[in-house]
Structure 1
Amino acid sequence: MSTAPPSSSPLPPPAPPRPRPSGEKPGLVADPVVRSLGLLIVVNATGNGLFLAISTLWFTRGLGYSTGQIGLALTLAGLCGVLAAYPAGRSADRYGAKRVLAVLHVFQAAAMAGFALVDTYPAFVLLACAVTAGSRANAAVRGALYAHSLPAATRTPALGLLRAVNNAGIGAGAALGAGVAALDHHGAYQAAILVDALTFLLALLPLRAVPAVHPATGGSAGRPGAADRTGGSDRPDSSGLPGRRPGALRDRPYLAVTALNAIVNMLYVVLEVALPLWLAGYTSAPRPLVGVLLVLNTVLVVALQVRASRGVTELPAAARAFRLGGLLTALACVTAAAAAHRAPAAATVILLAAVLLLTLGEVTSQAGSWTLGYALAPDHAQGAYQGVFQTGISLTQALGPVVVTTLVLPHGTVGWLVLGAVFSGAALALPPTARRAERHRPAPPP
């Protein structure tokens, strides 16, 4: 893959990446673009892991806020995150993903540094909203950057590798955070947050080596005409009939895929919220097992994500992988339900099995999700479409904790079985929904 930026001349459009012969190994680790993206991610993920490990302690012990105040701030922040992804994605289409991502990193560095200095609750809420909105916008723009810089034939395996790198970085950062937490010193917490802020700026260095490729629409990054106008235009649609080319927010088949993907993505809420609360309040398993379950998930994702992503580069394989992942997630819910009313040893084994199944569902469904999100979106508007896809995930992150704490856990085994049925339904509905979305995929502009 060439790392040179496209010409500033609008004609001809940038050449597509050279397809690899079927017998040629992708050599992802040796690919300079993948290496640059991996370095960007591992730097940023290490900072994120550090912050995740110490944020609650800093908010409560350092800043002195109650759990209720923190919960309200994070809920409002989650809603802000829902609103951030789509406009960020559209900006990536208009100005280029690399440029927008650089701006976001500077914004996120400033917002994160503010957590070390904030001294009033309203300012804390505003910073929480800024940090979360920046995170969701970052995810959407990175999605567009991957679409622009990684060839479709190797994109899903590359994303599998990058996700394994991300989890390794988070694990390393969390280990550093554990050391900070052991010190339990006001200055140490502040220094850790400032280090996290610095990682956003350090990640700009490897970003410079990523090619600033813009969608091949006859324009280049920064030219308004190169981006999708989501209002549509009078062009033939994908069926060849005259009509308005739909924008991302009006592409109903794609929105349906987005909704099903968002449902299955609630598996992260199951892992991070439902299982810890279930273990602590409804089973006899030892409380320290919560940390073990999270570490087990992280290690397994690092070990399995690349393997799970192999061969998931076409839509039929992606739909099958997503379906399998959703069904494994449903089975994990049924397994977790069985941990209630068991002896401590039995409950421990059951919960370990549940996390194993959940992680297998995670790596499998994610491999399918990546291909679906990119392949069903038009190349000229990947930013807007990735923004829509990330908005669905943001909704899950914002509303999922409320769902599991009010509609699942209070109902015990029945609640888990209903949640499993929801995962199963979404998984089984995805393949026909994806086929319909493929048939109605918007045509590129002439």
Structure 2
Amino acid sequence: MASFVNRVGNGLFNSAAALYFTLVVGLPPVQVGAALTVAGLIGLLAAIPGGHLADRRGPRTVMMLALAVQAAAMSALLIVESWAVLAAIAAVDQLAAAAGGAAWGALVVRVGTDRPALFRAKLRTYVNLGVVLGTVGAGFAVAVDTRTSYTVLILGNAASFALCALLLFLLPDYRALPAPPQQRRWIALTDRPFVTFTALFGAMGLQYPVVSLLLPIWISEHTDAPRWTVAAVSAINAGVCVLLQTRIGSRVDTPRAGGRAFRTAGLLFLLSCPMMALSAHAPVWAAAGLVVAAIFVHSLGEIWESSAGFALGFGLAPDHAQGQYQGLLGLGFSAGQALAPAILTTVVLGLGTVGWLLLGAFFAAVGAVGPSLERWGTRTRPRQEAGAATATEGR
């Protein structure tokens, strides 16, 4: 419920944030983009320290504090009058979001007990549904297009952070797990298999802006498909993820299954990218059919990719340092998302059909590493887990 409420609020705000800052506040789009980019980069700094704090002080406490800060920061957006103030407030929000995201990952492990990847897959179903509902609400506010309507969106998102924090009171206050003696403080940064997986997961994360950014531009500028297919892309993607995330995710709840799922995701993207490319060379209804089929296949790949991320991300991280590891994984993913727009628009839109083929091959190559990466990671776990068990028994 906490995740669902929080994502409804995100859907309310994220869909209309740019319009509020440009149309209501009156900031130039370039300044809005610069402020949010600066804030996003600053926020990355809190991911690993926030996760480490969650490991040592308890994930619920850290997540609730982060949500409280986000609620205050969101409310403060109503006083924004310049890009500098926007950058400062957004930076505070992003710092709290990064720390809270790492703590949330650690909390998922504690609540999900022996099957955290499956629990995370179930959560993602509710998360997707919450975003969809929030986006619908934002659509009504944008249609009204007044300062009051946008103010309601902002306060609604702030309230969602506060309500999310209150709902977490219903969870146990999980205590920190003991760390092995003489363990390095920043253990995640020295775990080479996990650092490698973080880089690959960030690279595979380029597939998300394909749906939200690249494909809408491709449809409108390079195909004869009806313009309603732009809206259909998001609807189909959300629908497939809501309906199939838990069903597919239930099969991917071990690191070994995660490695195979990562490879499967890459192959599905290898199939969907050429279909998207072919839509530019097809007549109207054939182009629409190709886009719909491509986004269905791509959505399946997204589910397998996210399920692989849950299984490997939780399965390769030691229990006593889940927050720090999830912070590192979130850092890699966010870095990939920050680079994605420039990479995708330059390579794919610049090269056209060839760019789509290169993108599909890239995803397949990244995914192919999944099984061997899992084997490498699993080989390095027994020593760490044995150390943790010894420390626990000693206490």
TM-score by length of 1: 0.83
CA distance in 2, matches of 1:229, 1:283: 60
- The answer for the alignment partner of 1:363 in structure 2 is 303
Stretches of structure 1 that go unaligned for 5 or more consecutive residues are: 1-38, 218-225, 233-245
CA distance in 2, matches of 1:388, 1:360: 26
CA distance in 2, matches of 1:394, 1:182: 31
CA distance in 2, matches of 1:352, 1:380: 44
Instruction: Deviation per CA, 1:100-127: give whole Å up to 9, x if none.
Output: 0011001111111122221111101222
- The answer for the alignment partner of 2:165 in structure 1 is 204
Displacement of 1:351 after TM fit? 1.2
Indicate yes or no: 2:295 matched with 1:295. Answer: no
Displacement of 1:413 after TM fit? 1.0
RMSD, aligned α-carbons: 1.8
CA distance in 2, matches of 1:370, 1:95: 23
Structure 1 residues 168 and 298, CA, compared in 2 at 3 Å: closer, same or farther? same
8 Å Cα contact 1:321-1:365 kept in structure 2: yes
Pick aligned residue for 1:328 from 252, 261, 268: 268
**Residues 335-346 of structure 1: matches in 2 within 5 Å?**
335-346=275-286
**Residues 259-298 of structure 1: matches in 2 within 5 Å?**
259-298=199-238
Displacement of 1:173 after TM fit? 0.9
Instruction: Deviation per CA, 1:350-378: give whole Å up to 9, x if none.
Output: 11111111110011121121010011111
CA distance in 2, matches of 1:406, 1:84: 30
Q: Which has the higher helix share?
A: 2
CA distance in 1, matches of 2:276, 2:180: 46
Which of 274-283 and 387-396 deviates more?
274-283
Letter in 1 for 2:259: A
- The answer for the alignment partner of 1:412 in structure 2 is 352
Indicate yes or no: 2:155 matched with 1:166. Answer: no
- The answer for the alignment partner of 1:175 in structure 2 is 136
Displacement of 1:215 after TM fit? 4.6
Letter in 2 for 1:61: L
After the TM superposition, list the runs of 4 or more consecutive aligned residues in structure 1 that deviate by more than 4 angstroms: 226-230
- The answer for the alignment partner of 2:184 in structure 1 is 231
- The answer for the alignment partner of 1:3 in structure 2 is none
Equivalences, count: 386
CA distance in 1, matches of 2:327, 2:15: 28
Pick aligned residue for 2:94 from 120, 132, 143: 132
Structure 1 residues 433 and 336, CA, compared in 2 at 3 Å: closer, same or farther? same
CA distance in 2, matches of 1:227, 1:109: 36
Pick aligned residue for 1:313 from 246, 250, 253: 253
Query: Which secondary structure does the structure 2 equivalent of 1:291 belong to?
Result: helix
Letter in 1 for 2:247: R
Instruction: Deviation per CA, 1:36-73: give whole Å up to 9, x if none.
Output: xxx10111111011112221221221111222222222
Displacement of 1:379 after TM fit? 1.1
CA distance in 1, matches of 2:256, 2:350: 38
Indicate yes or no: 2:18 matched with 1:65. Answer: no
8 Å Cα contact 2:121-2:310 kept in structure 1: no
Instruction: Deviation per CA, 1:319-360: give whole Å up to 9, x if none.
Output: 111211121122221211111132222221111111111110
Stretches of structure 2 that go unaligned for 5 or more consecutive residues are: none
- The answer for the alignment partner of 1:40 in structure 2 is 2
Displacement of 1:92 after TM fit? 0.6
8 Å Cα contact 1:282-1:340 kept in structure 2: yes
Instruction: Deviation per CA, 1:237-287: give whole Å up to 9, x if none.
Output: xxxxxxxxx711011111111111111122111111111121122222233
Query: Which secondary structure does the structure 1 equivalent of 2:170 belong to?
Result: coil
Query: Which secondary structure does the structure 2 equivalent of 1:65 belong to?
Result: coil
CA distance in 2, matches of 1:227, 1:139: 24
- The answer for the alignment partner of 1:432 in structure 2 is 372
Letter in 1 for 2:187: G
